[in-house]
Amino acid sequence: MTAHQDDFFEQVNRYFDEAASLTDYPAGLLAQIRCCNSVYRFDFPLRRTDGRIEVIHGWRVEHSHHKTPVKGGIRYAPDVNESEVMALAALMTYKCAIVDVPYGGGKGGIKIDANLYTVDELERITRRYTHELHKKSFIGPGIDVPAPDYGTGEREMAWIADTYAALNPGQLEALACVTGKPVTQGGVSGRKEATGRGLFFALREACQQADDMMALGLPVGIDGKRIVVQGLGNVGYHAAKFCREGGAVLIAIAEREGAIMNPKGLDEDAVWRHRRDTGSIQNFPGATNLDTRAALELDCDVLIPAALEGVFTEENAARIKAKILLEGANGPTTPEADPIFRQKGMLVIPDIYANAGGVTVSYFEWLKNLSHVRFGRMSKRHEETNERSMLRAIELATGRSFSEEERNQFAKGPDEGDLIASGLEETMVNAYHEIRNMKLKTPQCPDLRIAAFLAAIHKVARSYAELGIFP
Ligand code: GLU
């Protein structure tokens, strides 16, 4: 465990305190917002396939009950520790507040390297973890709703949903106990891509602000922006994909084993397949190999950390040449690195806003599970029929007739994926302006991160006010 992970919760609270100092809320209220409401730590045995017994260490933290359920992913990683899970749960509270998703923050973790276990062992670990949560009422559609995080995905979420449903026979809303499930198991179209797509919307909106781009010496718009991505997992892969499809050029990708660069542009899908087939990102045709550290320090317009926390420290911050830092991971920048970034005039789009696309679409999935109907099911054909009538009226009025292709393009009732993507876009665009305006109207606010914390603190404080806890 490295030093930064040891006190990750403390680091998040340093950001909180800096933002809190710009408010005049009572100290007790701020202390209530900042603390972790419940921390559940537990151990259980796993019988490995070879017969050995191993003790598995798990956590679930509920940071804030100002709104329920609490929400946040479950991480499987060898370095998981209590401070980390607490920090990540706290970040979830602020993240949900920023994008107006009506949850408190939570997070879970299991201290394992998922690559070292068989699928069968992982299934037993996940189901047992769910049992442990259930025993203490740390899971449920109205209590605490986990989701994927580093080291987990749709498969684990399906096991959790199935275990919970088995423990609660007949509970109508049981599927809403976890999000990030496969679409066939109650998931929603677009959840898997959501964090990456949200990062793209965040970047696109940032690049549309002429004043901010001028200050960075960059042209307006995402088109042609040179991007470096660290981490080719679900978040990094989809961020790269949407940004590239949106006009950016992916000049380098970094992974644990090393990095590759091609100034003419890389295709994340081809790189992903190359890594799957060869076991390494390196030696990709047409690209140059370099080490991960060097990739982070490349001259580029946008750097997207999409792996774990604590990547930028006082040791390397000064060498980062990116103009924009788009935080896909949670906590990639330490409080020591931030002032260096500010001094360099970088635009840091902070994690608690930038990667909120995941929980936003999780919210949509939860709503779908509670309503038991696919988004668009009732309205798709109705909208299509109305649009076709409109096209017909235009044809009659103008004498021009539309081709079948135009008709299909203009009269298309939205399906679930379309609605999810547009709900996500609306959320990310609005929230960007909310935090940008917060920074502009708060003279002592140094950057978007503190502005985002400030916006979150105001919203959580308002909830407590509505509960009558302070006037
Ligand atoms: N683990 C993701 C995050 O850090 C998603 C959480 C969720 O969907 O609840 O934001």
| Domains within the chain, CATH numbers bracketed | 3-184 (3.40.50.10860)
Which atom of ligand 1 approaches the CA of 179 most closely?
A: 8
Expressed in angstroms and rounded, the spacing between residue 145 Cα and the centre of ligand 1 is 10
DSSP readout, 15-73?
A: HHHHHHTTS---HHHHHHHHS-SEEEEEEEEEE-TTS-EEEEEEEEEE---SSSSEEEE
pLDDT value of residue 236: 98
pLDDT value of residue 468: 75
Report how far residue 91's alpha carbon sits from residue 95's, in angstroms, rounded to the nearest whole number. Answer: 6
Mutational test site, ligand 1, from 107, 359, 364, max ligand atoms within 8 Å of CB: 359
Phi/psi for 401 (5° steps) reads -110, 140
Q: How far apart are the first and last CA of the chain?
A: 43
Which atom of ligand 1 approaches the CA of 91 most closely?
A: 4
At position 276, the amino acid (one-letter code) is: R
Beta strands 226-230 and 302-305: pairing type? parallel
CA 388, distance to chain mean position in Å, is 38
Expressed in angstroms and rounded, the spacing between residue 409 Cα and the centre of ligand 1 is 34
Copy the structure tokens of residue 320. 């980062």
pLDDT value of residue 471: 65
pLDDT value of residue 467: 76
Residue whose structure tokens are 């946008």: 302
DSSP readout, 187-235?
A: --TTTTTHHHHHHHHHHHHHHT-HHHHHHHT--SSSTT-EEEEE--SHH
Three-class secondary structure of residue 288 per DSSP: strand
User: Would you name the residues annotated as active-site residues?
Assistant: 107
Contact 287, 259 (CB under 8 A): no
Expressed in angstroms and rounded, the spacing between residue 188 Cα and the centre of ligand 1 is 15
pLDDT values of the chain reduced to their tens digit, one per residue, 471 residues: 344 445 999 999 999 999 999 999 999 999 999 999 999 999 999 999 999 999 999 999 999 999 999 999 999 999 999 999 999 999 999 999 999 999 999 999 999 999 999 999 999 999 999 999 999 999 999 999 999 999 999 999 999 999 999 999 999 999 999 999 999 999 999 999 999 999 999 999 999 999 999 999 999 999 999 999 999 999 999 999 999 999 999 999 999 999 999 999 999 999 999 999 999 999 999 999 999 999 999 999 999 999 999 999 999 999 999 999 999 999 999 999 999 999 999 999 999 999 999 999 999 999 999 999 999 999 999 999 999 999 999 999 999 999 999 999 999 999 999 999 999 999 999 999 999 999 999 999 999 999 999 999 999 999 988 777 766
pLDDT value of residue 394: 96
Which atom of ligand 1 approaches the CA of 103 most closely?
A: 9
Q: How many helices (H) and strands (E) does the chain have?
A: 18, 12
Mutational test site, ligand 1, from 92, 197, 428, max ligand atoms within 8 Å of CB: 92
Expressed in angstroms and rounded, the spacing between residue 179 Cα and the centre of ligand 1 is 9
pLDDT value of residue 205: 98
Copy the structure tokens of residue 193. 């891509």
Q: List residues near ligand 1 (CB under 6 A).
A: 71-73, 147, 149, 179, 330, 355, 358-359, 362
Expressed in angstroms and rounded, the spacing between residue 73 Cα and the centre of ligand 1 is 5
